[in-house]
Amino acid sequence: MARGKKHTAEQIVNLLRQVEVGVANGKTLPQACKEVAIVEQTYYRWRKEYGGLKVDQARRLKDLEQENAKLKRLVSELSLEKLVLKDIASGNF
């Protein structure tokens, strides 16, 4: 895939498995990574985040991360609204 293109959590878990199978079959890590079109740095970064997860767990992780980001945005918006209303109520506008 092109640089900067996002893989889904399921794709990442599957690519990690493919690399592990390649290494188990006697390939070097760089060879196994090249076969699935990723660099070693990406492999290690993904393994750190997704290592040991099953596909459904990886999907759930991404869903929870998205939900968490949405909730953080909501909290910040509500906090800002609260500050504005507080200033208006105290006459500091």
Domain enclosing residue 85, as ranges:
9-89
**pLDDT of 88 above 70:** yes
Number of domains in the chain: 1
Question: Would 2 be classed as within a structural domain?
Answer: no
Q: What is the pLDDT of residue 1?
A: 44
Q: What is the pLDDT of residue 93?
A: 59
Distance CA 31, CA 36 (A): 9
Question: Would 55 be classed as within a structural domain?
Answer: yes
Distance CA 48, CA 69 (A): 21
Q: What is the pLDDT of residue 79?
A: 94
Q: What is the pLDDT of residues 1-58, one digit of tens each?
A: 456 668 888 899 999 999 999 999 999 999 999 999 999 999 999 999 888 778 788 8
Q: What is the pLDDT of residue 37?
A: 94
